[in-house]
Structure formats: C-alpha cells, structure tokens
Structure 1
C-alpha cells in the first residue's frame, strides 16, 4: 500500500472561514464502504440505519446511500485508525473499502433558510417533514453530483473536488437572497 503521508499533500480548494449560510468545512477522511447483508457497528461507525439515513455526529458519521453502500466520514487524521478498525471488524465479510478523502470536499449550509438555499439547485423536498435530521441522499445540485446529509443543525453537502468551486459559488449566490 502506498504511504500517502509522505507522497501526497491535500490542499484546500475552497477558502476557509468565509462564514455565513454557506461555509466550507475543514478537510476530513472519507471512505466508501460496499457491504451486503451486514447490520451493526464496525470501526466505530453505526451501519444500522435504513436507506437514505445517517448515523453519528457531524464530524464522524456513516451515511447509507444504497442497499450496500455507505459514505463514512471522520476528522482528518483519523482515517488510518478508522480503516484498520473497519477491516478488523469486518474480517470474514466480503466488502470493499475505498479511501475517497482526497476526492471529496464539503460545505455546511446552515441557518433558517438552509433548505431554501439548497432548493435553488436541488429538486427534492428538504423541509423538516420530508428530510428530517438523520437523513442523507445522493442527488444533483445544478449540474453537480452531491451527497446531502442532514445531521446536527444544518446540512452538509459533499461533492467531488472538481465540482467544489461550482457547488460553492452556486450555493453562495443562492444564499445572497437570504443574507
């Protein structure tokens, strides 16, 4: 396995500290887990939720995006320990665990108009009744593929790094209406 601690350096693609309704989140370690027929806890991630749900805290969570697919997120620097724990807990299972920490970027969309800002580019009902806390889904924001997670007080929007400037600019523009 390639030692990425010495060969790669993740650089932020979005300016930190812009604040407001839409704000970039700090880098995180992320994995995509594909696993059939498992319900339980593995590597400190709760994998018991139904489809389109998220379990955990805003900084450390498992979002179930498909029947056998989870997006796992933990604070930057905890990925190696999380990966080792997952592999140990899932020993004997047939699974795929892919590190996508370098691929994704996240922004927080918060405040009383967070759902309205997101609905400028997402054609899903993101109201409290239809998309309550503990919900997660993969969808489109304008032309960008994103994962929307509602955990804590607002929304976390994950996208590929290549879509991040577009996603951030789109949401920042939509947020101006509510500033």
Structure 2
C-alpha cells in the first residue's frame, strides 16, 4: 500500500510571512523616570479646606432665651495626678480646680473640673494662638489629648436659659446649687454634654460634633415655649 505524502506548505518567494501577535509582556510599556515625572506633574492637588462646624449659620431664640453657636476654640482633655498638676499650673498660668462642679479662668484660658484627675481646658481669643499641647510639652506623668475639632459649643443665654436646659437635663442647675463658674459633665436628653455656667443667665454647652445637630434641635424646640 503506497504511503500518502503530504506536501509541506511553503511561503512563496516575495510574500511576507504573517507577523506573530506580540505577547502581553512585550506589549506592556516599560515606565521610565521621565514618565513618572510627567505623571506627577499632571496631578493637581487642592488646598486643604477649613473644618466647618455643623452649626455654622444657625441661630434660634424664644421667649427670654437665645441660642448661638460659638466660634471654634482650642480644647484639650487633660489628665494629671496631684504632683504633675503643679507643673501644669505653672505652664498654663492658672490653678486647676480641685472640687467638683468648679472651674477657673485666667487670660482666656479656662479649666473645667470633670473628675479627680481630669479637666477640660479651653482657650479663647488671643490665648487660642498659643497651642496648649505645646505649652505642656515636657511635663511628665500627664495625658494631653487635643479635642479641639471633636467638640462644638453652644451658648444659651437669657432669663429662660435655665428652663430651656432643664427641659432635657436632670441636674439641678438653679443658681443656688449651680452658681456662676460651675461646670459638670451631664446629659441633655440623650446626649452627653459638659455644662458650664458663665453668667447668671448664660450657659455654654460642649458636646461632640456628631451630636451637635441633635443637641441644637432639642434646645431650639425647648426654646419655643420654655417652662418658666
């Protein structure tokens, strides 16, 4: 039986052979330093925006009371024992309050007693320019946490200020038991706050910014018809 011979295919002379497809590795462009420079030059960065308060632009009032969001201020959460607190006082230029529901203020810096070894320190006006954590650098055995952007402050002012806050605060805040300068950690409805009496008819409420809208709305509703 004769074997079948298969003729091999040959490319005719003068006809170019079909080019092979390049592999993925060959097709991938190799980046060069010049490419990286061009890429980085094409990327544009926007300037950082100032942090805005969730209460910016708000104002509310009612019979005998006004609500006002306060300007940003510098805040630190301070923990210190009896020995290191003396060094803190020398750095801040004020005596830290040592009794519950008390505060001290000197030249725009205020310290609010929150516990036996805990204070909320606030700086307003010109004092805010001096960074509090920097002033306390080098003091041993203390804890300093900058909470300036964590909190928002609301001023409640007027003859009905007590009644408006009392609508959601179980603490006795009448002037006899909560005099000017008194400060404490308490609650307003379902929100934890730090309440500070700065005048006979004026309070400041410090709350976390995530609760600011809730606290403001509660106070604004209470201000519509305060129980005085």
Fold match (TM-score > 0.5): yes
Q: Choose between structure 1 and 2 for higher RCO, CA contacts under 8 A separated by at least 6 residues.
A: 1
Match of 2:76 in 1: 31
- 1:45-64 to 2 correspondences below 5 Å: 45-56=94-105, 60-64=109-113
Q: How does 1:136-155 map to 2 (within 5 A)?
A: 136-153=183-200, 154-155=202-203
Q: For each residue in 1:38-66, what CA deviation from the matched residue of structure 2 results, as whole angstroms up to 9, or x when unmatched?
A: 35443234314422211116953110100
The Cα offsets for residues 67-126 of structure 1, whole Å up to 9 and x where unpaired, read as 0000011127826532222225xx2x3000000011000100111111110000000110
Aligned to 2:172: 125
Does the 8 Å contact 2:74/2:123 carry over to 1? yes
Correspondences of 1:1-179 after superposition (within 5 Å): 9-16=50-57, 18=59, 20=61, 21-37=66-82, 38-39=85-86, 40-56=89-105, 60-75=109-124, 78=128, 80-88=130-138, 91=139, 93-153=140-200, 154-178=202-226
Partner of 1:3: none
Q: Which consecutive residues of structure 2, in runs of 5 or more, have no partner in the other structure?
A: 1-46
User: Aligned residues, how many?
Assistant: 171
Distance 2:169 2:107 in 1: 21
Larger Rg: 2
TM-score (norm 1): 0.85
Instruction: Give me the whole-angstrom Cα distance separating, in 2, the residues matched to 1:142 and 1:59.
Output: 30
Root mean square deviation, CA, Å: 2.4
User: Unmatched 5+ residue regions in structure 1?
Assistant: 1-5
Secondary structure at the aligned position of 1:42 is classed as helix
Q: What is the rounded CA distance, in whole Å, between the counterparts of 1:108 and 1:170 in structure 2? A: 14
How much has 1:143 moved relative to structure 2?
0.6
How far apart, CA to CA, are the structure 2 residues paired with 1:71 and 1:158? 10
Query: Per residue, is there more strand in 1 or in 2?
Result: 1
Aligned to 1:105, the other structure's residue is in SS state strand
Q: Is the 8 Å Cα contact of residues 32 and 100 (structure 1) preserved in structure 2?
A: yes
Q: Normalising to structure 2: TM-score of the pair? A: 0.68
